Structure 1
Amino acid sequence: MTNNEERFKATTPNFRTEAAKKLAELFPEVVADGQIDTDALEELLNPDLEDEESNEKYEFIWRGKKNSKRIADAPARDTTLIMDKDKSKDWENTKNVYIEGDNLEALKLMQKAYGEKVKIIYIDPPYNTGHDFVYKDNYHDSYQNYLETTGQLDDEGNITTTNKESNGRYHTDWLNMMYPRLKLARNLLTKDGVIFISIDDNEHDRLKIMCDEIFGESNFQADFIWKSTAGSNTGSAIKTVTEYIVCYAKNSRFFEAAGIEPANDNKYKLEDEYVKRRGKYLLNKLDRRMTPLHYSESLNYPIQMPDNTSIYPGGKGKQDNWNWRWSKNKLQWGIDNKFIVMKKGKQGWSVYFKQYQKVDNEDNQINRTLPQQNLLDIDGVSSARGTKEVTDLFNNDKVFDYPKPINLLKHLIKIIAEKDITILDFFSGSGSTAQAVMEQNAEDGGHRKFIMVQLPEKTDKKSVAYKDGYKNIPDIAEERIRRAGEAIQKEHPKADIDTGFKVFKLERSTIKQWDKNPENFEAQLELIHSPFTQESTNDQRALEIAIKSGIDLEASPEVDGDNYHFVTDDKEVFAILGNYDENLLEKINKQRKLPNATVVLREMNNGSETKFNLIEKLKQEPELNDHFSLEWL
């Protein structure tokens, strides 16, 4: 291992830099003096480029698009997540996560830990109707922007940043909000992952073109269409009753959609000792009356019944144009393998074969499911149903408008056959997706995990929600998840369901940021004595180090005084925030659980010599060098 000691990077990845690194790894010939030689890259790709005689190309542009790309690529420097155990449920055991904060910053903070680990993303973003919340991002000071955004209410509690259609940048403001979030979301999807985006006619076309650019036109799967209302007045002669769910795969080559159980699947009602492998079955008569053209003499033979009598196809003596459907050899195989049933009724003996759910008539496994359809015909799916589901949980109080119905979200979840996956919703609203995940787990024994992200947008002071004590949307959502979890556990008392969730809040970074302004030089000297903000705690500091080192939010550290040890399936981090000596690496080597671990050291007062000796020891001792990388604050 090389370069095993460096300063800790208190930022998330910068994807312009990451992209350059990947290009350099793939095509070292385009690197010159440590930079990407764009002329060399263009020459390498020349066979794939457009006709040089034409400068025209198909593209979707809008005012602010370049800045949206910069915002997506810029690392999260000044933000972190802090835990809120008081608002959480079953903190020590749950694998579910709820984040209160701006989803743009949350997505950036998730990049290292959740990159290519999320199987399903579902979002229900603002439809840009002129009344919903479309907020603007600030490239230079994301945390200050976040504080301003969540405080943009007048004295009456009304949102002051609605995007009216009279605004000259009506569509571009929405595009600039959506673009960086979708770009960051794509990085989180597994290679066979999928994203579902709810939308209506207002921005559907622009969303589709934007997603073609971000996810790739070839990865578009479908526009799912569902009937959301009995009819809404759009100002035209035709009422709109449907909405869309736009679906893109991370990579179509790897994406697979589970089939739909046939509507008549309940016709399989009988079962035998083979039910686990073959499924249930129904009985089909083995004989058929044939046309002369399809009659076969070899299939018109007698079969001996249990009482030693024999019958021909048709149930009597030998008759023209009657055949068994199976040959003599196939019949004997069917008897031996219990596919054949002989029954005596009022009209005499009849011969049947078993048609199973899960195997064909040669005992080969089959899939009788039907392909997914983009027209969703699902019971209990409407905006009114979604509202009722929430009001029922809140004792008939209407605390949230038009949440998505649970059955709709469960249908989307079941499109992915796997049951042990992570599902992300970063416009999570009232928490419908969380409830859908828990319900689906209860029904099929799955262990899906959810990550919800929601801006703490304040509720209207005149609203029922505000009067009931819910001051912002996360207050509503967290209470909904609690109540829904209790109801699900009551309905499925024996099911192993995770109905807990860990709450994290977006806050300013605990790590002081270097200010290049010469006027603030003296204040920056304090970084020598402490890299952390005075008001932060060691628990919060360690969590930020873990997040920005790639530890997911499920992990709970082993704590030894001021030292923290985080481990996940593929990442191990030691955050050493207390005092240490030159034997530190040998001590933590005994605790190490993965082949390689990162050690992040807080600079001690008068500890430069100790740090230097640790660095030298790492260089000189191969066993330690192979297992540790050392970073310091």
Structure 2
Amino acid sequence: MTSDKLDLSTPDLVNQNIEKIAALFPNCVTETAEGKAIDFDLLKQELNHEIVEGAKERYRLEWPGKKEAIVTANLPTTKTLRPVREDSVDFDTTENMYIEGDNLEVLKILQESYLGKIKMIYIDPPYNTGKDFVYKDNFTQDSKEYKEETDQIDKYGNRLVANPESAGRYHSDWLTMMYPRLKLARNLLTDDGVIFISIGEQEVHNLRKVSDEIFGSVNFIGGAGRISKKANNKGDYWAPNFDHVLTYCKNREFCTPFFGGINYDAYNLIEEEGSRKGEMYQLVRLYMTSLDPRPNQRYFIECPDGSFVIPPGEVFPNQKLDAAFISPKSKKDKVWRWSYKSYLEKKDEIVVKKVRSSNLVNEEGGETFWNVFTKTFLNDVIEKSSATPNNFIENHINQSSSHELKKLGIPFDFAKPSSLIKFLMETCRVSENDIVLDFFSGSASSAHAVLDKNAEDKKSRKFIMVQLPEINNPDSDEYKAGYKNICEIGKERIRRAATKIKEETKADIDYGFKVFKVDSSNMQDVYYKPQDYNQGQLDVFADNIKEDRTSEDLLTQILLDWGLPLTLKTETLTIQGKEVFKVDANYLMACFAEGVDEAFAKEIATYQPLRVVFKDSGFKDDTAKENVKQLLKQLSPNTEMKVI
């Protein structure tokens, strides 16, 4: 057992990459004053069959700011997430998350806890039309200087700048913004994960090239065109009613083929009992045309009234006749789709019912006939379907999103319809316990889609929404309705959508979400001045945790530092009058109270936690800390102890 302080910062991706290269090419690693570095001349030679003499022309996308973008992606951050219970729904039980803050910072913060865990990413970034804003990731520029330059900064210090077409770096600024976010996003995808990116004609060509570089051109699995709005007369040449959905997978080797072409409306029945209770299904006639004699597929089935039916269901004798009986109406010999043996094995999937016509099910009026149907479950069709979707998306236009939000009583324009994200989830087979991430979440259409899909098929998909709290235009309807920033719209949309879906479907699913906000580290930056030693000021720094931080703030940062999901089930216990968090059964226990001693450690040891965390200042002195360490080592040898 060791007792080391937690680092509480995101991984240094540069150093990690250096270590990976060093493992393959140790001769390419050199020492500098700052530590290890790569000798790129030697590395180039290691990766070439010919002598490398200097820079060569190559096929790749370059722009002013590309190196800056690469550095930005690799720089670690000391920022963390702070939970906001008052904005959350079912905070203690939900597995969904809504995060407010700069998505670049959030993607860095999530690198360990959600590395390789996201099944699907959907983003709708700024299209760079010359009228919208882009993020300016210049962390060396102070807030005052930035505000004087752009007058675009919020209380969180997030920076947005207008990007007019007349700007000298019109395309470059947009690419510099997108590159690090896509690079970090790729790390979060599962091996079979997929990212969908909505984009307009202004940047689709650049987005394709930069994504080819980040994801690998071999992992480009197609692009779909989408009718985004109804026909209009805007535009000087072509009316802009169309946008693109570029699609990349993490690893084509593991990516499951897409599927589509299913008529979901046909699956309008719900199984009421048995192992498939709650699943959607449709009834399909059991008979089929026979081109060849199939005696094992031609047999009588008894109806509820004691009569018998033989395919195709046109004649219903009161007794069994010769199995070779041919229908006088069709003059053809027809058979069931199943053999007699299969029929006996799967009788529980058979429904014999009266219908008005052989072509109509559940119709009333007119003469009725018995007919035989099988239950075809939607989940089985989804699992086995090999049909691929058309790459022209017609039925998910933006206007439907406006109607969707209007029904929820929320004014907002330019949102993507939740039906589009739901369609994409179905296309790439997002299923049980999969996570959907949207780090340009806007009005939270993606969260709405996840809730809707879960209610439909009773699965447990999860969402992570990320959005900068951009201030709404004071003249806008949403601002006048009380929504000061876009995050307020997104959170309220999820609440109202959840209430509506629950009322309409009665589905027992997770309707909640935990809210987090990006903030500076919970730890203080401590700088000692020489006079502090003489004036007795060192006591000020005895506790290096910021005064406004709560125990839940500290627990969140610890979960992130240890690479644990933020939605793990957490219990709050009281042990010897001290608040103790117990995470995921006995996986982690944390206490940030004062007065941690041997008696307290003995009680903690009875839980046999795998990990335990205390506040460094929670011990009376170093001797008390060492005593607790040794006691835990004796009573719970598998426990790893850390302090902050």
TM-score, normalised to structure 2's length? 0.77
Decide which of 401, 407, 420 is 1:386's aligned counterpart. Answer: 401
Aligned to 1:599: 613
Deviations 1:199-239 (A, max 9, x none): 11111111111111122211112212211112456744222
The answer to whether structure 1 residue 282 and structure 2 residue 267 are counterparts is: no
Stretch moving more, 243-252 or 368-377: 368-377
For residues 184 and 275 of structure 1, the distance between their equivalents in structure 2, rounded to whole angstroms, comes to 41
Counterpart of 1:74? 75
Amino acid at match of 1:414: E
1:400-439 equivalences under 5 Å are: 400-415=412-427, 416-439=429-452
- What are the superposed Cα offsets for residues 478-513 of structure 1, whole Å, 9 maximum, x if unpaired? 222221111111101x31122222222222222112
Q: Compute the displacement of 1:592 (Å).
A: 3.8
**Cα pair 2:526 2:541 within 8 Å, conserved:** no
Q: Which moved more, 1:183-192 or 1:568-577?
A: 568-577
| 1:332–1:207 CA distance, 2 compared to 1 (3 A) | closer
Do the aligned partners of 1:268 and 1:281 also contact (CA within 8 Å) in 2?
no
- 1: CA distance between counterparts of 2:482 and 2:288? 66
2:554 alignment partner in structure 1? 541
Give the letter for the 1:382 counterpart. I
Deviation at 1:438, TM superposition (A): 1.1
Is 1:95 the counterpart of 2:95 in the alignment? yes
User: Shift of the alpha carbon at 1:601?
Assistant: 3.3
Identity, % of aligned positions: 35
User: Which residue of the partner structure matches residue 572 of structure 2?
Assistant: 558
Q: 2:185 and 2:298 mapped to 1: Cα distance?
A: 67
1:367 to 372, 375, 384: 384
| SS of match in other structure, 2:193 | strand
* Aligned position for 1:58: 59
Deviation track 1:12-56 (CA, whole Å, cap 9, x = no partner) reads 111112223444556778667784664775565446x99879822
- 1:399-453 deviation line (CA, Å, top 9, x unaligned): 2111111211111122224132221111111121111111111111121222211
C-alpha contact (below 8 Å) 2:113/2:564 kept by paired residues? yes
Amino acid at match of 1:541: L
Asked whether the equivalents of residues 82 and 504 of structure 1 are also in contact (C-alpha less than 8 Å), the reply is yes
Partners of 1:574 and 1:302 lie apart in 2 by 69
5 Å-filtered alignment, 1:516-595, equals 528-555=541-568, 556=570, 558-560=572-574, 564-568=580-584, 572=588, 574-582=590-598, 585-593=601-609
Counterpart for residue 202 of structure 2: 202
Compared with structure 1, are the counterparts of its residues 208 and 142 closer, same or farther at alpha carbon in structure 2 (3 Å cutoff)?
A: farther
Match of 2:508 in 1: 496
Rounded to whole Å, the distance in 2 between the matches of 1:232 and 1:518 is 71
Give distance in 2, aligned partners of 1:239 and 1:366: 39
**RMSD of the TM alignment (CA)?**
4.7
1-structure distance, mates of 2:637, 2:243? 57
Deviations 1:325-369 (A, max 9, x none): 899xx976577668999xxxxxxxxxx99888579xxx9999355
2:455 and 2:206 map into 1 onto residues whose CA distance is 38
Show the counterpart of 2:489.
Answer: 476
Contact persistence 2:327–2:333 (CA under 8 A): no
The answer to whether residue 450 in structure 2 is matched with residue 452 in structure 1 is: no
The offset of 1:242, in angstroms, is: 1.2
The residue that corresponds to 1:19 in the other structure is: 17
Native 8 Å contact 2:526 2:544 kept in 1:
no
Equivalent residues of 2:77, 2:109 under 8 A apart: yes
Match of 2:254 in 1: 254
- Give the paired residue count: 591
Letter in 2 for 1:161: V
Alignment map for 1:101-250 (pairs within 5 Å): 101-140=101-140, 152=152, 161-231=161-231, 235-250=235-250
User: Is the Cα–Cα contact under 8 Å of residues 545 and 575 in structure 1 kept in the other structure?
Assistant: no
Q: Structure 1 residues 265 and 218, CA, compared in 2 at 3 Å: closer, same or farther? A: same
**Equivalent residue letter for 1:387:** S
* Contact 1:268 1:357 survives alignment (8 Å): no
Contact 2:454 2:460 in 1 (8 A): yes
How far does residue 374 in structure 1 lie from its aligned partner after superposition?
1.8
Distance 1:240 1:462, change over 3 A: closer
Name the CA distance, whole Å, in 2 between partners of 1:201 and 1:209.
14
Q: 2 CA distance for matches of 1:124 and 1:521?
A: 54
- Per-residue deviation, 1:67: 1.5
Q: Quote the offset at 1:562 in angstroms.
A: 5.6
Question: Contact 2:532/2:538 (CA < 8 Å) preserved in 1?
Answer: no
- Is the 1:282–1:355 contact (alpha carbons within 8 Å) kept by the matching residues of 2? yes
Residue 347 of structure 1 is matched in structure 2 by none
Residue identity in the other structure for 1:215: F
Instruction: Report the AA paired with residue 472 of structure 1.
Output: N
Mapped partners of 1:606, 1:338: distance in 2: 71
Q: 2:477 maps to what in 1? A: 464
Query: Could you tell me whether the CA contact under 8 Å between 1:358 and 1:368 is conserved in 2?
Result: no
Question: Helix, strand or coil: the match of 2:392?
Answer: coil
Partner amino acid for 2:518? L
Which whole-Å CA distance do the structure 1 matches of 2:531 and 2:148 have between them? 26
Of residues 22-31 and 332-341 in structure 1, the stretch that sits farther from structure 2 once superposed is 332-341
Q: Unpaired segments of 5 or more residues in structure 1? A: 289-294, 342-351
- Distance change in 2, residues 1:236/1:62 (3 Å): same
The one-letter amino acid paired with 1:548 is: D
Counterpart position of 1:610: 624
Structure 2 vs 1, CA of residues 237 and 302 (structure 1 numbering), >3 Å: closer, same or farther? closer
Q: 1:9 aligns with which of 7, 10, 20?
A: 7
Amino acid corresponding to residue 426 of structure 1 in structure 2:
F
Determine the C-alpha separation between the residues in 2 that align with 1:527 and 1:461: 43
Preserved CA contact (<8 Å) 1:459 1:466: yes
SS of 1:550's equivalent in the other structure is: coil
Report the 3-state secondary structure (helix = DSSP H, G, I; strand = E; otherwise coil) of the residue aligned with 1:441: helix
Q: Distance in 1 between matches of 2:558 and 2:320?
A: 82
Letter in 1 for 2:405: V
Q: C-alpha distance in 2, partners of 1:476/1:302?
A: 61
Deviations 1:447-486 (A, max 9, x none): 1222211111111111222222111111122222221111
Aligned letter for 1:367? K
Closer, same or farther in 2 for the Cα pair 1:366/1:587, shift >3 Å?
closer
Q: CA deviation at 1:610?
A: 2.7
User: For residues 248 and 357 of structure 1, do their structure 2 counterparts lie closer, same or farther at Cα, with a shift above 3 Å needed?
Assistant: same
> Structure 2: where are the runs of 5+ without partners?
301-309, 311-316, 353-370
Aligned pair in 2 of structure 1 residues 284, 365: CA closer, same or farther (>3 Å)? farther
Using structure 1 for the length normalisation, give the TM-score: 0.78
Between the aligned partners of 1:521 and 1:144, the Cα distance in structure 2 is 34
Secondary structure of 1:436 counterpart: helix
Aligned partner of 2:56: which letter? Answer: N
* 1:56-78: CA deviation from partner (whole Å, max 9, x where unpaired): 2222121111121222111111x
Distance verdict in 2 for CA 1:260–1:16, change over 3 Å: same
| Residue of structure 1 in register with 2:362 after alignment | none
Distance 1:185 1:365 in 2: 27
Structure 2 contact 282–375 (Cα < 8 Å) conserved = yes
C-alpha spacing 1:93/1:303, structure 2 compared with 1 (3 Å): closer
Distance 2:381 2:8 in 1: 56
